[in-house]
Structure 1
Amino acid sequence: MSHLKKMLTPLWKLILLFMLIGAAFAYAMFQGGFVSWFLFYSFLPFAVYGLLLVLYPLRDWEVTRKLAKHEYNAKEVLTVEIELKRKTFIPLFYLLVEDGISSLLTNKSMSKKLFFPGFKRTIHFTYLLDELPRGEHGFYHTTIKIGDPFGFMEKEWEIRNLEKIIVFPEYEEVIYKPFTNQYEQGMAASKNIIQRDTTMAVGIREYRPGDRFSWINWKASAKRNDIMIKEFEQRQTDDIFVVLDCKEHAAFETMVSFTATLIRSILKKGAQVGFLSMEKEKTVFSIRGGEVQQRLLFHHLAKLKNNSPVSLVQLLESEFFTFQQNTTIMLVTADLSKELIKAVSLLAGQKYNLNIFLVKDSNKGLSNEEMLLKSEAFRSRVRVILIEKGRFQDAFLEVETR
């Protein structure tokens, strides 16, 4: 119905314009005199201009949109340049230009501007979009509209010129300090990512300060009359798997931002990271390192939505086979529940190093219930680390204070 109305409106306005011309001429003919003919000739130029607009080809305009780049980080400022060119010299009373952009972008009013071009054949204008939100955003079309001073005739044309930009999540620069569960030391924090498997001695060496009493090789020490230490096989445990809770939550943007910060800091440390998320469909990135992995994960995080049909607990129960043993699993969520603590406790019992990052938008800290759940998780060798918006560096504060 609206499309039909859009098509009939110009026709109706054209008929009305002819009727007004006829009425003005008839009035002058029958009334006679200076005033009536003055009114007719005064109205005639505007009527003729309206008729010229009917014949004016809007397709004569060429529109070019210029973007400095197509990849941004959240909160950056985007500058858009629009250039309009035409070939004809017909004067235009006004020209309304509107750039059709994604509804998620702010300052949409800045993408609309009114010009009085006259005989100008080239028009430029620039607008800014600040505080870019995370996501994939489109510039779909540019609409131009012309008309006469009295609004008798108006013409509009939509020029399709699709362009897309991707806005990566905001992140903070933090230094990753890995958590490790060492086999004989219980739960501990280490500044490197190496564990000693004390069940497999591969040689002996002289004592060095810091060696444990239980590592002494008594037979070799007696033979050499010096303290000799068992040399154990060192096992690299720099494989990390990050799981993001994609259920609807007010703190979801902060969760995505922290996840980006976490992934970037892990990869900069030289470790490897995998990723699991569940929107309407499950997405798994295998454990890899390097800039290519960061780019892939950031592209995924940029488009991620909080519309998961399952809870984090259900995701862990259905996808536990995805995780390799001795892998560090980092869960990013905004909800700490008994069901989640139970699920991760089972994983911790299967030689997984579990860390839960509990993300909050506010700085109110943990509630009494969350404190109890954190204590329960600690007894199962699972860390619960509070992450507050704007304080992502506190994620590894526990490592620094040990």
Structure 2
Amino acid sequence: MIRSVKTIVTLLAILALIAILFVYSMFQGGFVSWFLFFSFVPILLYGMMMVFYPMGLMKVERNVNQHYLKSGQTLRVTLTIQRRVPLPLFYLVVEDDLPEMVTWHDTKQYKYRFLTHPEQLKNRKQAKSVMFPFMKQKLQFQYELDAIPRGRHHFKQVKVMTGDLLGFVKRERYVDVDTHVLVEPGEIPLKLGIEQSTFEEGQQTNYAVKANHTNLVSGVRDYAPGDQLSWIDWKTTARKHELVTKEFEEEKQKDLTVILNGHADEDSRWLAFEAGVELTYSISLQSYGDYGDVSVVALGKVREEVTLKHGKQSIERLTQLLSQIRMVKDHQFAKQLKREAWHLSKDRHLVIVTHDLSKAIHQTVLQLRQQQVDVELVFVSSKHLMAKDERHGLDQLHYAGVKVTWLNEDRLARRQIEVSAS
């Protein structure tokens, strides 16, 4: 209805201008007045034709160079516009509507330098171009999305706009062109080693991710080059007068559960959440093989769980899960974590990855430790945004026996993060 009214008003305005020019030429007379009339009439008549130009006959296609990428890579997009009516167009504006999660740049570990002000990463330009087709029937617009972030990105609409020379007529159309692109989360390089430290001002405990392997002595054998000194059985050595080392029977590997916090009270923590996703992905993949059973639980809008087993299918499911998960703005993580604790076996090793440490989360982790659960906490927060309550909470957790890691912008921006083995 509104579009019809605008069309009628535009037509009446063009006809009124033609009538005014004609009347002016008739009363004024002379070469100049009639020159103005015959010069502007074709332009105004072209404007009338543009009112009825069939924008719906334009065909728009979107092609991408690949549908599966890794975060930080470059996506190349090509828009093809096919015109079916051979009316000359003086200009054509093409704009691709980008998904919300594509508006920021994922510069791998360097993005964590903006952990205090993550909005500075949201500086991507619009995918927009002005073309001058005239009589061309087929047009192409290419653009690149460099440093694309993780996520299942759904490209929906393409906006096409044109008009006349004087700006009286402006025609636009939104064309639905569905394109899906899956971008996998990046991996944070973790260096596994044995290291313990205290949580103090300006210091953090290193993260423990390797399993505790308890070895039982099953017998003795002759010493071989490369055997550790602690393996030598000194009593048997003294009796036989030759070096003898112990043989060990390794116990069953301990199981691991990684829980990711998908909740936040503030939208400004979204970059810390992205770090949590990459840490969860890296810990799970690098722990796969060191543990008997690795499970990943994402607590967001809904509870989702993936258990890594032998074969690529479980890893693909984990990649799909962590590629699509979105942060939810609420404070339900502590309640969900309590529910998880009821079903958690005490012989499992628990790692909690969170970007928020509210009092409720702090109390829940303490309760888990009091229940003799082998729990570790990986906390992601900017050193400039960390509240006193959060720092005090980390100290309490550390003194209660919880292995604590605080990852800030300085540690996350490193090429490799050192982690300890429990």
- Does the TM-score normalized on the shorter chain lie above 0.5? yes
Q: Measure how far apart 1:166 and its partner are.
A: 2.9
**Gapped regions of structure 1 (runs ≥ 5):** 180-188
Residue 164 (structure 1) aligns with: 180
Cα deviation digits, residues 289-312 of structure 1 (max 9, x gap): 543333322322233233264454
1:267 correspondence with 2:288: yes
Matches within 5 A, 1:1-400: 4-106=1-103, 109-176=125-192, 193=211, 195-196=213-214, 204-206=219-221, 209-211=229-231, 234-248=250-264, 250=269, 251-267=272-288, 272-307=293-328, 309-336=330-357, 340=361, 343-348=364-369, 352-362=373-383, 376-378=396-398, 380-389=400-409, 391=411, 396-399=418-421
Q: Partner letter of residue 120 of structure 1? A: K
**Separation in 1, partners of 2:243, 2:124:** 75
**Separation in 2, partners of 1:289, 1:91:** 61
Cα deviation digits, residues 270-299 of structure 1 (max 9, x gap): 864211222232222235354333332232
Q: Which has the higher contact order (CA 8 A, sep 6+)?
A: 2
Assess, with a 3 A threshold, how the Cα gap between structure 1 residues 398 and 234 changes in structure 2: closer, same or farther. closer
User: TM-score, with normalisation over the residues of structure 2?
Assistant: 0.74
**Separation in 2, partners of 1:361, 1:284:** 28
Q: Measure how far apart 1:376 and its partner are.
A: 4.9
Assess, with a 3 A threshold, how the Cα gap between structure 1 residues 28 and 313 changes in structure 2: closer, same or farther. closer
Q: Measure how far apart 1:337 and its partner are.
A: 6.5
Q: Measure how far apart 1:178 and its partner are.
A: 8.9
User: TM-score, with normalisation over the residues of structure 1?
Assistant: 0.78
Bigger mean CA offset, 234-243 vs 342-351: 342-351
Report the number of matched residues: 381
Q: Helix, strand or coil for the counterpart of 1:391? A: helix
Quick check: 1:243–1:275 contact (8 Å CA) kept in 2? Answer: yes
**Gapped regions of structure 2 (runs ≥ 5):** 104-122, 196-206, 224-228
Q: Partner letter of residue 322 of structure 1? A: H
For the pair shown, the structure with the greater C-alpha radius of gyration is: 1
**Separation in 1, partners of 2:76, 2:124:** 13
- Percent of aligned pairs with the same residue? 25
Assess, with a 3 A threshold, how the Cα gap between structure 1 residues 381 and 290 changes in structure 2: closer, same or farther. farther
Quick check: 2:275–2:380 contact (8 Å CA) kept in 1? Answer: yes
Quick check: 2:192–2:419 contact (8 Å CA) kept in 1? Answer: no
